[in-house]
Structure 1
Amino acid sequence: MDYEELSKVLKAISDPKRMKIIDLLSCGSLCACDVLDHFDFTQPTLSHHMKVLEKAGIVSVEKKSQWHYYTLKEDRVDSFRASLTELFASTETCICMKEESSSD
């Protein structure tokens, strides 16, 4: 498990507004203006939040004319989900057991 990458994603989604953005994007790609309709903040504030999510690799952006369309990166979401599953694994598959097995 890549703890650095997992931590980067967790930090990016730790903000409640970014969590809501991810929730909105889980329905499909959205234009920035459509995302803004769900918040009471300015476009520059949205840009900041989107840049954080983009740097963490969770969201991709596509510029079409003057509009920015945001999409969840499904492969990154799947990887994140798998890492969380591994992190909260049962005792049979926890890191302690893996280390004991490799020292045998």
Structure 2
Amino acid sequence: MKKVAQFFKALSDETRLRILQLLSVREMCVCELIDILQMSQPAVSHHLKILRQAGLVNDTREGKWIFYSLDQDNFCCYQEAFAKLFVSPIQENLRRGIQPSCARVDLTVCEELEARQARLEKGSQAGGNG
């Protein structure tokens, strides 16, 4: 569970999401990411460190260069963990015919909005006739 929380924490930043999107195309060195993101080297390195600690990216050293790429294996593991935590229980409840409480709340909210709209329309029609 702690690893999944670390995963979501790493994804909670727009810059890190952009980095992951870029690395999904191909591996890149820090200098390429700096150029594309228009950020300082320390800022990009900070984000890469968080992504690496979460197991989302790999780094490969080639001489003085470090290239970063997505860690596909860990990505798949996180997908499976996410499915076990959230998707599987929801699917099981739906199979049993148990409606999620959020669906009941949404229905209540929708009903309230419809009733409010009907009152507004009725009020505007009554006011327009006098």
TM-score range, shorter chain: 0.7 to 0.9
Hey, what's the Cα distance between the residues in 1 that align with 2:93 and 2:45? 40
CA deviation digits over 1:23-53, x for unaligned, max 9?
A: 1111121111111222121011111111111
Distance 1:39 1:92, change over 3 A: same
Partner of 1:92: 92
Cα deviations by residue, 1:77-104 (Å, 9 ceiling, x for unpaired): 011112222333124169xxxxxxxxxx
What SS is found at the alignment partner of 2:37? coil
**Uncovered stretches (5+) of structure 2, i.e. residues with no partner:** 95-130
Larger Rg over CA atoms: 2
Identity in percent: 32
1:102 is matched with: none
Query: TM-score, normalised to structure 1's length?
Result: 0.79
Pick closer, same or farther for the CA change 1:93–1:84 going to 2, 3 Å. Answer: farther
The whole-number CA distance in structure 2 between the counterparts of 1:33 and 1:61 is 14
Q: Which has the higher contact order (CA 8 A, sep 6+)?
A: 1
Give the number of equivalent residue pairs: 92
Q: How does 1:27-46 map to 2 (within 5 A)?
A: 27-46=25-44
Segments of structure 1 that go 5 or more residues without pairing to the other structure are 95-104
